[in-house]
Structure 1
Amino acid sequence: MTNTSPGDLVPLPPAALALGAQFAAAGHELHLVGGSVRDALMGRSSDDLDFTTDARPERVLAIVAPVAATTWTTGIEFGTVGAQVDGLRCEITTYRADRYDRETRNPEVVYGDSLVDDLRRRDFTMNAMAVSVSGDRTFTDPYGGLADLAHGVLRTPGTPEESFADDPLRMLRAARFVSTLGVSIAPEVDAALRALAPQLGRITAERVQVELSKLLLGAAPRKGLEVLVDTGLADVVLPELPALRMAADEHGQHKDVYAHTLQVLDQAIDLEDAGPDLVLRWAAVLHDVGKPATREFLPGGRVTFHHHEVVGARMARKRLKALRYPSAFIDEVGQLVFLHLRFYGYRSSEWTDSAVRRYVVDAGLLLPRLHKLVRSDCTTRNKRKAAALSTAYDTLESRIAELKAKEELDSIRPDLDGNEIMSILGVGPGPLVGQAYKHLLALRMEHGPLGRDRAVSELREWYAANA
């Protein structure tokens, strides 16, 4: 009977073996490390490999040159050399014993000579394991990362206070791992998160955005968001979310909007049909953020949130802009938040074909996501009410499909284009042409396709009244 080392359980791709041979021949150590080892032990594949070595960066460049398709040195000031080997992106970092400037969080790079010391500076124990690829697959786990991984517990190699003070972003990473890895947070780590949450304000918006995106794209984003809110981290990076934990009215009849939001997120995820959708998930998280600012208590214990979708869309755009998301992404999430209540007008009154057209046109390419968001927004426990809402939306979708079959709803435009308008009216380019175009578009929305003859007649009639 042979003893199996954990290192034997980590499959080493050809890129790792090729690099390991190079470093061994040069008399240096090379270890697969961090998330690469963790993911391999969890049976998760990765296109990126992280390594650590006792060789200094300039020496690393020379060692990898024979097997690398390309190299890059964007992180060399922090001791990291990048290389593309056998189609995989590899990052090789010299052993470090970083000291952090706790005002700017910039590391003061100090190279080390000890693998164990290098592992101690890492964020969590499950990321502080290493497998030698330049020797005999020696498995190094000085801080109990394998046991923590087996139990699904997030701990830090040193004290969590020291780790988070060095790099507060690690606190967000803890919440992200709850979402992506399904782990729980050790009590001492949870206590440090609560105590040091304000320190997250030192981190740039771009780095926060990356972590929040990864959290939301995880398998259990609800749990990650609950960590953010419960520990106070959300108060720093996403204050609109904890603000939804509004107190019930004096009769206890007003449901908690925070709990509703998390349920909407879960239900939206259940409706995804092509993998995780960051736009849809952000829209679910932010769809009701306008409620605290628009809440009114009415006689009889009723509560209203008039126009919360308008206020919420503005707030969603502001938050995502502060997080440095791209403008197009912000526009998509903001528009979904703005439109998510439009359907309730259909439920309460019979929509004309014109209203259905406007719903489709206003949603544009977001219509499939809007369908999912609206359906997810029903969280009532009243089965009869839920069934009625679902049936009403089924009817709306059927009407949309019927109109699409008769008309080009996805690309509604006037029956006459700008050149035709100028030719018919005998005018040149100018504001008048744009005004005429908008008039014909409004008619098209109201009545459907007009046909050329009627469109020409309507254009001339409008021109006579407005020229």
Structure 2
Amino acid sequence: MTTSPADLVAVPAAALELGAAFAAAGHELHLVGGPVRDALMQRASTDLDFTTDAHPERIADLVAPLASATWDTGIEFGTLGARVGGLACEITTFRADAYDRRSRNPTVVWGTSLVDDLRRRDFTMNAMALSVTGERTFTDPFGGFADLARGVLRTPSAPEESFADDPLRMLRAARFVSTLGVTIDPDVVRAMTAMAPELGRITAERVLAELTKLLLGEYPRAGLEALVETGLADVVLPELPALRMASDEHGQHKDVYAHTLQVLDQAIDLETDGPDVVLRWAALLHDIGKPATRAFAPGGRVTFHHHEMEGAKLARRRLRALRASKDLIDDVSTLVKLHLRFYGYRDAGWTDSAVRRYVVDAGPLLPRLHKLVRSDCTTRNKRKAAALSSAYDTLEQRIADLREQEELDAIRPDLDGNAIMQILGIPPGPLVGRAYAHLLALRMEHGPLGHDRAVSELTQWYEQQR
């Protein structure tokens, strides 16, 4: 007996419940897109997508008795959302849209055919449908099941037509390389390469969402390579391809681009609680200051002095352009700025004061900074790699030892602002801030001063200000 793809899809009870309601009303209802693809790949899916011949107002009537909640944020595109049996379900009327090809917003037109609806979808493996009304009919007019089995990404229509309708699909192709482990069909690659400038039509928020999903995928390196090789990165993340052919200061890597991808791989290997978007963005951007700071020293040696400072500035600029959150911008740029500081410790050792500053400047990012610094070692020289690892082990141990002696995670002066004003007899104002900064610097340099010494240092400083 031949197994049908329909037999490989475990249909959730919520889908069957909805299917029965639509069938009783004389309508089609098909599970479609990602949930079908994921089921065939034996991947979990918490959201369900459906398509139907029913129009939005009819969908609302049929879903209401079954849903614990509904939402209509996509109603202008024929989509009604509902929570059924604990699952988020989105049900969309068959579409036969037309695009103006100046934006990615379609002129919404209701369709009458399931096949026509599937034809307008991004990739063949997302253009499969399974009926949940009565007989479980599997519809695959564009060979999505075979493409899924081969692990190849193709478009239902000509890729040039698909990407002209919605250029964001090109970024999704790279994202699926990362999240699904597929390869892109050569015709699709050619279309992406030729049409990369069309990404300029896409909003920054949409671009960031796709890049972040790509970075959080299982194979982000492959997804990033697809972006660079097709020229998409030149449009949305130009700092990455700019790293190619920029030899690094150690002379051990063919280019900084290859080094960056290796650092990303190594940072991912150090993750302990699942994908870390901050760490991955920091690993990707940590060396983007190198092209702007490259210089050639005597003897052919290449230097990148202060590339971490330039990189922090560029990381902040790029993430702002992508409309990233303030927290992500601050965290990533801080990690980029600090990732090279350890090399001063390795070369000359640090005082306790310098160790304290390292901890304080990193703040809650310190665990990520540890991972980023360790990942940044990509030398093939085993002896050198071992020495770097040992030096960082020593630094981490010193941090642990100081943490036992002091409250490193909450370093502050021995006297707060209220105490400063009371001791000096001064009102609130800039002078209090300067006094606080002076005591903090002493605390960083010498460790806890104790109350009496802090008062003495404060009064001596105040006398010098008068």
User: When the two structures are superposed, what TM-score results if normalisation uses the length of structure 2?
Assistant: 0.98
Q: In structure 1, what is the equivalent of residue 421 of structure 2?
A: 422
Aligned to 2:217: 218
Where 2:428 maps in the other structure, the secondary structure is: coil
Query: Quick one: distance in 1 between partners of 2:461 and 2:26?
Result: 85
- Between 29-38 and 427-436, report the one with greater CA deviation: 427-436
Q: Does 1:164 pair with 2:181? A: no
Asked if 2 retains the 8 angstrom alpha-carbon contact of 1:197 and 1:233, the reply is yes
Give distance in 2, aligned partners of 1:303 and 1:255: 13
Matched residue, 1:404? 403
Corresponding residue of 1:303: 302
Tell me the SS of whatever aligns to 2:39.
Answer: helix
Secondary structure of 2:51's aligned partner: strand
Aligned residues with identical type, % of pairs: 78
Alpha carbons 1:52, 1:95 under 8 Å: kept: yes
In 2: Cα distance, 1:255 partner to 1:410 partner: 40
1:101 alignment partner in structure 2: 100
**Equivalent residue number for residue 363 of structure 2:** 364
Aligned to 1:125: 124
CA distance in 1, matches of 2:89, 2:353: 56
Task: Name 1:392's counterpart in structure 2.
Answer: 391
Q: Which residue of 1 aligns with 2:326?
A: 327
- Segments of 5+ residues of structure 2 without an aligned counterpart are none
Distance 1:247 1:73 in 2: 50
Distance 1:419 1:310 in 2: 36
Q: Secondary structure at the match of 2:31?
A: strand
Query: CA offsets per residue over residues 8-56 of structure 1, 9 Å max, x none?
Result: 2111112111111110111100000000100011111111110000000
2:277 corresponds to which residue?
Answer: 278
The range that moved more, 12-21 or 365-374, is 12-21
Shift of 1:390: 0.4
The corresponding residue for 1:86 is 85
| Aligned-partner SS, 1:71 | strand
CA distance in 2: counterparts of 1:417 and 1:268, whole angstroms? 39
Specify the SS of the correspondent of 1:289.
coil
CA distance in 2 between partners of 1:397 and 1:59 (Å):
63
Question: Offset of 1:254 from its aligned partner?
Answer: 6.6
Alignment partners' CA distance in 2, 1:51 and 1:191: 32
Q: Is the 2:246–2:290 contact (alpha carbons within 8 Å) kept by the matching residues of 1? A: no
Counterpart contact for 1:254–1:303, Cα < 8 Å: no
Corresponding pairs, count: 464
Q: Which residue of 2 aligns with 1:313?
A: 312
Partner SS, residue 146 of structure 1 = helix
> What is the TM-score with the length of structure 1 in the denominator?
0.98
The match for 1:8 is 7
- Report the CA distance between 1:255 and its aligned residue: 3.2
Aligned mates of 1:138, 1:57 — CA distance in 2:
23
C-alpha distance in 1, partners of 2:13/2:427? 67
Q: Residues 394 and 415 (structure 1 numbering): CA distance in 2 closer, same or farther, change over 3 Å?
A: same
Kindly provide the amino acid, as one letter, of the partner of residue 125 in structure 2.
M
Greater shift, 421-430 or 309-318, is seen at 421-430
Distance change (3 Å), C-alpha of 1:83 and 1:254: closer
Amino acid of the structure 1 residue aligned with 2:175: R
Contact in 1 for aligned 2:247/2:256 (Cα 8 Å) = no
Q: Secondary structure at the match of 2:92?
A: strand
Amino acid at match of 2:150: H
Q: Which moved more, 1:395-404 or 1:422-431?
A: 422-431
For 1:248 and 1:435, locate their aligned partners in 2 and report how far apart those are by CA, in whole Å: 44
CA distance in 2, matches of 1:246, 1:314: 22
Q: Could you tell me how far apart the structure 2 residues matched to 1:442 and 1:94 are?
A: 65
Q: 1:415 to 1:46 in 2, by over 3 A?
A: same
CA RMSD of aligned residues (A): 1.1
- Counterpart contact for 2:412–2:440, Cα < 8 Å: yes
SS of structure 2 residue aligned to 1:50? strand
Q: State the Cα distance separating 1:248 from its structure 2 match.
A: 5.3
CA contact (8 A) 1:246 1:292 kept: no
Q: Does 1:75 align with 2:74?
A: yes
8 Å Cα contact 1:194/1:231 also seen in 2: yes
| 1:247, distance to aligned residue in structure 2 (A) | 5.2
Structure 2 residue identity aligned to 1:215: L
Deviation at 1:4, TM superposition (A): 3.0
- AA of the residue aligned to 1:331: D
**Hey, what's the Cα distance between the residues in 2 that align with 1:306 and 1:26?**
71
Distance 2:105 2:351 in 1: 60
1:314-347 Cα offsets, whole Å, 9 max, x none, are: 0000000000100111000000000000000001
Matched with 2:176 is 177
Change (3 A) 1:247 1:295: closer
> Residues 197 and 76 (structure 1 numbering): CA distance in 2 closer, same or farther, change over 3 Å?
same
1:256 aligns with 2:255: yes
